[in-house]
Amino acid sequence: MKLSFFLRSPQKYTTQFPAIHYLKGNFFMIIWFISLCFTMPVYTMAQQEMNAMTPKTKNSIGLEMVRLPAGRFYMGSAGIGENADEAPAHIVDITKPFSIASTEITNKQYELFDPSHKALRGKKGLSKGDDEAVIFVSYDEASAFCRWLSEKEGKAYRLPTEAEWEYACRAGTLSAYSMAAKLPKELGKVQEFNRDPKPVSLQVAEFAPNDWGLYDMHGNVEEWCYDWYGPYEKGEQRDPVGRISGSFRVTRGGSHNTLVQYLRSANRSAMIPADKNWMVGFRVVEGPLPATTPLPAVGKPANMQNVRQAAYHWSAPAKQAFFSEPVYYVKPPSCGNNTPFYSHNHCPAITWCPNGDLLAIWFSTNDESGREMTILASRLRAGSTSWDEPSEFFNVPDRNMTGSSLFCDKEGTLYHMNGVEVAGGWKNLAMVLRTSTDNGASWSEPRLIDPEHQVRNQVIAGMFQTKEGWLIQPSDAGPGHSDGSAIHISKDKGKTWYNPYTGNAKPEFKEGYHGGLIAGIHTGVVQLKNGDLFAFGRNNDIPGKDGELHMPISISKDMGKSWTYSASEFPRIYGGQRLVLRRLNEGPLLLISFTHHPREKEKPGMLFKSSSGKEYTGYGMFAAISYDEGKTWPVKKLLTDGKERFLDGGGWTGIFKMDKTHAEPMGYLAATQTPDNNIHLISSKVYYCFNLQWILQQPDL
């Protein structure tokens, strides 16, 4: 929808008013519609003048530059739900004309700067031709191209600011797309969700340009912008240049192989500057960067505020058995807390901090494949019995964030590992690492430790440190239920990482067989005293001597290069369930798993013993202890204190009954053990605290 009745001069043809939902209920909306009826002929004349004001020139690399006038427009949207970062919508003044490329930079143009990039043509089946948009280019590489082009042309080339980009994209419109309220299907390039991109031409200028002569502003490839990503501010803005610093650079325009709503004029995305993938390219602006003072850096979230830095004096391990009342660590934010909090909260990780706090993180989303997914955190501060309200912990905007891990090493450094998708889904993930040396009050900038968006990178809670001091991070080997698991190893405190198995063959997960992956997804891994690695997993179940399917065991004698499989004594687990395996401070191994799946009706439950030696059938989450490095598990206990209560397990669990013979039936588990030997366990919503003495003490039934 285009406006013409408010024109003051040719330079003001781009003036825009708020979208209709902002005027609903306002008398001015009626005047606005009446004005449209009488001004269409005036608009046509105005648009002809505007087109005449956007002269086009070509530079020495054949790049067509379009001159845009100064103007005024309405930036952003109502910002509802996952699009909250588009609000508040606000007026922006672009005070000086600038020239912007009519197309995205092509392979042929980029390779004049970097001939080696030609090796990336056709990767993932995309962008093979000279005149297709270049992809697999990082922010720094795009900026370096601009510096090269500036020197070559004797003019100042750069990336567009986010405001310049949206101003150019809208071309005087208020609608979701510059040509209509909906993007015509014939203008799309595979506008659907695909875990792996479907091959499609990324030819530039394949469709008609917008009214200002700019091609592919909606789709083809996302485009790097100059700005650090951060929230908008209220009030009118003049030549904004974003935040002074940040973790992510803005990308705009959407791309092929993604849902059409991400192609809207107002949609905001961002990426880690070092990331380069098959969705993102760039176009350039000619002209000096506006001299506007950047907005200040974004403030810290609540989980990083008021963090005590004094070392905590841990008490001596308790000699008495205890099991604390279960409480919720995932709680909806209260009114006034603007934390994004969606319907599905799941996939947690937890660690202790040297100051005595516990820090828990999890993803919040509406859809596990969704791009709205964010990582939230809550802190249980030393001395408190109540977890803080949730606050945002880590979020690469418009990227799926499946898989998180937290760990505190022997020197008090916290490690946060996370998966980051190209878009939605959870298959092609890069692995990102941050560290903290101040109890999580601040974190290092996210660093891509595996920059390839690929399988084997879906992080699992359960990072640990070997006796050699190496860090080991488990990860799912693929998005399927039977894809197995992999590990990543760092021998230099997280500086560099490697995957010990470099093969591609999927092994047969059978008794006595060998393969390069761990049997089962969502694995738990420990190091045995002899240096071997020992793992349990979900799915890839192996028949036991009783003929029933059992949870698989995987053992590696070569630090993860190969694994041998066998059946454990424990029942299999599956959808909505994730185990914990760790070595306790006291020495034995601890497994926390489930007796069965609630949908399994034929043989539910597992046998346990009371304090008198009487056997009884228990249902749900249990703990098991091994004193002989996983060969036998003589201690098994249902994780309940026997008190009858109803709890909400969150995630896929929902409401469940807890009593003498029933514990939580499902949940993704994560655990840590503090220096006082207390065991802290979280499921998808519930926090438990107990000690080894309690596990060893059988109930009196």
d(CA 593, CA 570): 9
Final residue before a domain boundary, out of 430, 461, 492: 461
Mean pLDDT to the nearest integer, 97-101: 98
- Between CA 426 and CA 445 the distance in angstroms is 22
Domain's final residue, options 286, 316, 338: 286
Query: Do 251 and 377 reside in the same domain of the chain?
Result: no
Instruction: Report, as an integer, the average pLDDT of 524-550.
Output: 96
Mean pLDDT along residues 304-327: 97
- Distance in angstroms (rounded) separating the CA atoms of residues 654 and 649: 5
Question: Poorest-confidence range of 22-31, 587-596, 646-655?
Answer: 22-31
- Model pLDDT, residue 600: 82
| Whether residues 263 and 378 fall in one domain | no
Whether 483 is covered by a domain: the verdict is: no
CATH of the domain at 431: 2.120.10.10
- Angle CA(31)–CA(37)–CA(41) in degrees, nearest 5? 130
> Average pLDDT for residues 325-352, to the nearest whole number?
96
Q: What percent of the chain has pLDDT over 70?
A: 92
What is the predicted pLDDT for the residue at 601? 74
Q: What is the CATH number of the domain that holds 121?
A: 3.90.1580.10
Cα–Cα distance, 560 to 583 (Å, whole number):
18
The SS3 of residue 288 is coil
Whether 250 and 367 share a structural domain: no
Q: Does 25 score more than 50 pLDDT?
A: no
Q: Is residue 346 part of a domain?
A: yes
The reported pLDDT for the residue numbered 7 is: 29
Predicted confidence (pLDDT) per residue in 548-597, tens digit: 999 999 999 999 999 999 999 999 999 999 999 999 999 999 999 999 99
Which band of pLDDT confidence, cut at 50, 70 and 90, is reported for residue 241? very high
Are 224 and 130 in a shared domain?
yes
Over residues 118-143, the mean pLDDT reads 98
The pLDDT assigned to 385 comes to: 95
The verdict on residue 321 lying in a domain is no
User: Containing domain of residue 403, as a range?
Assistant: 330-461
Cα-Cα-Cα-Cα torsion 215, 217, 218, 219, nearest 10 degrees, comes to 80
Residue 269 sits in the same domain as residue 335:
no
Task: Let me know whether 138 and 198 are in one domain.
Answer: yes
**Per residue in 673-700, pLDDT tens?**
999 999 999 999 999 999 999 999 999 8
Q: Is residue 578 part of a domain?
A: no
> Would 658 be classed as within a structural domain?
no
Looking at the structure, do residues 113 and 200 belong to the same domain, yes or no?
yes
Q: Is residue 267 part of a domain?
A: yes
Q: Are the C-beta atoms of residues 401 and 420 closer than 8 Å to each other?
A: yes
The residue that leads in pLDDT, 13 or 527, is 527
Least confident of 34-48, 114-128, 344-358: 34-48
- For the segment 469-496, the average pLDDT, to the nearest whole number, is 97
Closest CA to 346 of 366, 326, 327: 366
* Position 222 in a domain: yes
| Domain presence at residue 305 | no
Q: In 3-state terms, the chain is what percent helix, strand and coil (to 5)? A: 15, 30, 55
Of 412, 438, 461, which residue is a domain's last? 461
- pLDDT bracket for residue 53 (50, 70, 90): low
Percent of the chain with pLDDT over 90: 90
Supply the mean pLDDT for the chain. 92
Do 271 and 334 lie in one domain? The reply is no
pLDDT for 502: 87
What is the per-residue pLDDT across 62-88, written as a single tens digit (0 to 9) for each?
999 999 999 999 999 999 999 999 999
- Considering the domain architecture, whether residues 279 and 356 belong to the same structural domain is answered as no
Can you give 614-669 as a three-state secondary structure string? CEEEEECEEEEEECCCCCCCCEEEECCCCCCEEEECCCCCCEEEEECCECCCCEEC
Q: Are residues 363 and 281 in the same domain?
A: no
Q: Identify the pLDDT of residue 50.
A: 53
Based on the fold, state whether residues 127 and 261 are members of the same structural domain: yes
The DSSP element (H or E) to which 107 belongs, if any, is helix 107-113
Q: Do 343 and 402 reside in the same domain of the chain?
A: yes
Q: How confident is the model at residue 38 (pLDDT cuts 50, 70, 90)?
A: very low
Q: How many domains does the chain have?
A: 2
| 3-class SS letters over 318-332 | CCCCCECCCEECCCC
pLDDT at 29: 33
For the chain, the distance separating the N- and C-terminal CA atoms, rounded to the nearest angstrom, is 73
